[in-house]
Chain A
Amino acid sequence: MTLAWVGLLVVLPLAALVARPWELGMHGVVASLTQPRVLAALRLSFGMALGAAALNLVLGGLVAWVLVRTRFPGRRLADALVDLPFALPTAVSGIALTTLYAPNGWLGGLAAPFGLSIAYARPGIFIALLFVGLPYMVRAIQPVLHDLPGDVEEAASTLGATHWQIVTRVILPAIAPAAVVGFAMAFARAVGEYGSVIFIAGNMPNRTEIAPLLIVIRLEQLDYAGAAALALAMLALSFLILAALNLLQRRLRRHLA
């Protein structure tokens, strides 16, 4: 039963995708994927997604630790706000971020006098991906931290451990497997993110054009096979990265046990 559902919901659409590009022929698929513009878009999408997920490791970890270990007024509100990027329609996130970071926006206006552009440049893409990825990281780490008793940290402290030792020897090993899961989810979300990014990206070929936008552009040119080829390439790359992360997570868990 489970297999039938997974088959229907996941495998069938993917099979349709895998079948599509080959009408171009092997040579055509390779040619359509090795155009400089396509390579630039793939590099940008995967590079930005990995970078944003990596920074989210730190930011999400900090947010999770603060939410679990400290008590401050408005903590519940802050806890609820973390889920906002999940719930907002991506276009709304994109427009809100663009309004904020455009050269005439609150934050973009502060950077503009220094000749820095955030919206319509790569930093804008990075910020959008950071925004959509954060809740995955926080929600992956939070329960693990919650289950790690605070006394463990206190015990380490009474035994003479420095703050740094507590973080690297006690907390990090415990949350590492969960952090890898959070990283994988934040990355997966970011690499396929479309709605929020296209508003802030600038969408210039070779510079700020993400791979999902290139798929849409190919569709609008009625180049279905070319779009499917690019989608397939993204799927394969994502699969490889996620499989590697899965392996890493298992190793860490075994090490912990």
Chain B
Amino acid sequence: MQRFVILLAALLALAPAPLAPAWAQDTLLNVSYDPTRELYRAVNDAFAKAYQAESGRRVAIRTSHGGSGAQARAVLDGLEADVVTLAVASDIDAIAAKGLLAKNWATRLPDDSTPFTSTIVLLVRAGNPKQVKDWPDLIRPGIAVITPNPKTSGGARWNYLAALAWAMRQPGATEASGEEFLRKLFANVPVLDTGARGATNTFVQRGMGDVLIAWENEAMLAQQELGPGKFDVVYPSLSIRAEPPVAVVDSVVDKRGSRAAAEAYLRFLYTKPAQEIAARNHYRPRDTEVAARHAAEFPAIPMVGITEFGGWDKAQAAHFADGGVFDRIFAKGR
């Protein structure tokens, strides 16, 4: 009996935090999209320190990454995300549509709840052997283009819309000519990965394709860290302002009692230290002072916003829903 008590005491001493609420630490789960691994690793460390200094409470943040659409579905299926930081607003809208968070989530934080932005660029092999300079080069015969599947990847939807934005700004452009441009572009795509990071791997590790359409941050990461000197970033003549939004998931934080920490976490993203981290991870900061400091790294190129396509609701329904333009592209002429 005595031995049993000693064993029990030993077990209790070893027990993890949840069994011992007196030393509780807050935990947060951030469900994010594919290429934000490096960004949130740095942000989480900085936030944990700032939060402890401010509130005296310890906080541990876990992040989960994957294709933006798949992540949204995981949250809908019951993954208890305190915050979602996804690639496109329509993925958070899909979660809001099921009542997990308020429909007006985008208005709860500054800048439509997008603490930093990015854009879509072209990554080519060093020296640009195929002379890919702008969007029309992507539909030349013999050019292989790598981009993920817009049905599953948020980044791929930005890629698709950036290409379409260029096509629609050409003289005499019509909806038919835009669709034709996309059809030719996707005829040059040999592999459709399900997420942006998968597409980067296909381009970088497998040596597939002449050009990767990618988030600016992903392209710079590939250029600087995955294969230094092996790739060049090409800025097209027109691109899209990609705005990956963030939101607190109301139903989860209210159930877990983690609202204060979750809201502090998202507000932290707008502070100068977090904006600096974002800039170093190649996301375009919102903060004008931080942006000015990093201006040389982020060339100013003409960009359209998602409003060009009537907002995410319309773009999603017209292009990426079943029977939309993307499905039509693949139904025709193959």
Binding site for B on A (CB under 8 A): 36-37, 98-99, 102-105, 117, 119-120, 198, 202-207, 209, 216-217, 219-223, 226
**Residues of A close to B32: CB separation below 8 A:** none
Cβ B191 vs Cβ A204 within 8 A: yes
Interface residue B149 (Cβ < 8 Å from any Cβ of A): yes
**Residues of B close to A102: CB separation below 8 A:** 206-208
**Residues of B close to A120: CB separation below 8 A:** 190-191, 208
Interface residue B245 (Cβ < 8 Å from any Cβ of A): no
Cβ B151 vs Cβ A220 within 8 A: yes
Q: How far is B208's CA from A105's CA once the two chains are assembled, in angstroms? A: 11
Binding site for A on B (CB under 8 A): 67, 69-70, 73, 76, 94, 149, 151-152, 189-194, 206-208, 320-322, 327, 330-331, 334
A102-B208, A120-B190, A198-B194 as given contacts; A217 in contact with B334, CB under 8 Å:
no
Q: Chain A interface secondary structure, helix, strand, loop or mixed?
A: loop
Instruction: Select B330's contact among A99, A119, A206, beta carbons within 8 Å.
Output: A206
Instruction: Select B193's contact among A117, A119, A203, A209, beta carbons within 8 Å.
Output: A203
> In the complex, how many angstroms separate the beta carbon of A203 from the nearest chain B beta carbon?
5
Q: How far is B334's CA from A209's CA once the two chains are assembled, in angstroms? A: 14
**Shortest 5 CB-CB distances between A and B: which pairs?**
A104-B207, A205-B330, A102-B206, A220-B69, A203-B192
Q: Chain B interface secondary structure, helix, strand, loop or mixed?
A: loop
Cβ A220 vs Cβ B73 within 8 A: yes
Cβ A217 vs Cβ B206 within 8 A: no
A37-B331, A102-B207 as given contacts; A217 in contact with B322, CB under 8 Å:
no
| Most chain B beta-carbon contacts within 10 A, residue among A209, A217, A223 | A217
Q: How far is B193's CA from A198's CA once the two chains are assembled, in angstroms? A: 9
Cβ A204 vs Cβ B190 within 8 A: yes
Cβ B76 vs Cβ A207 within 8 A: no
> In the complex, how many angstroms separate the beta carbon of A152 from the nearest chain B beta carbon?
50
Name the residue on B nearest A112 (C-beta). B207
Q: How far is B208's CA from A221's CA once the two chains are assembled, in angstroms? A: 27
Cβ B189 vs Cβ A226 within 8 A: no
> In the complex, how many angstroms separate the beta carbon of B327 from the nearest chain A beta carbon?
7
Instruction: Select A206's contact among B70, B151, B193, B334, beta carbons within 8 Å.
Output: B334
Name the residue on A nearest B323 (C-beta). A35
Cβ A202 vs Cβ B322 within 8 A: no
Cβ B207 vs Cβ A103 within 8 A: yes
Cβ B192 vs Cβ A202 within 8 A: yes
Cβ B331 vs Cβ A222 within 8 A: no
| Most chain A beta-carbon contacts within 10 A, residue among B94, B193, B334 | B334
Cβ B206 vs Cβ A220 within 8 A: no
Cβ B322 vs Cβ A226 within 8 A: yes
Instruction: Select B331's contact among A36, A207, A216, A221, beta carbons within 8 Å.
Output: A36
**Residues of A close to B193: CB separation below 8 A:** 203
Q: How far is B321's CA from A117's CA once the two chains are assembled, in angstroms? A: 31
**Residues of B close to A220: CB separation below 8 A:** 67, 69-70, 73, 151-152, 194
**Residues of A close to B70: CB separation below 8 A:** 220
Cβ A103 vs Cβ B208 within 8 A: yes
Cβ A221 vs Cβ B190 within 8 A: no
Cβ B194 vs Cβ A221 within 8 A: no
Cβ B189 vs Cβ A204 within 8 A: yes
Instruction: Select B327's contact among A37, A103, A204, A207, beta carbons within 8 Å.
Output: A37
Q: How far is B321's CA from A112's CA once the two chains are assembled, in angstroms? A: 36
> In the complex, how many angstroms separate the beta carbon of B42 from the nearest chain A beta carbon?
27
> In the complex, how many angstroms separate the beta carbon of A172 from the nearest chain B beta carbon?
41
Cβ A221 vs Cβ B330 within 8 A: no
Name the residue on A nearest B97 (C-beta). A222
Q: How far is B334's CA from A17's CA once the two chains are assembled, in angstroms? A: 32
Cβ A203 vs Cβ B69 within 8 A: no
Name the residue on A nearest B74 (C-beta). A220
> In the complex, how many angstroms separate the beta carbon of B323 from the nearest chain A beta carbon?
8
> In the complex, how many angstroms separate the beta carbon of B116 from the nearest chain A beta carbon?
25
Cβ B327 vs Cβ A202 within 8 A: no
> In the complex, how many angstroms separate the beta carbon of A180 from the nearest chain B beta carbon?
36
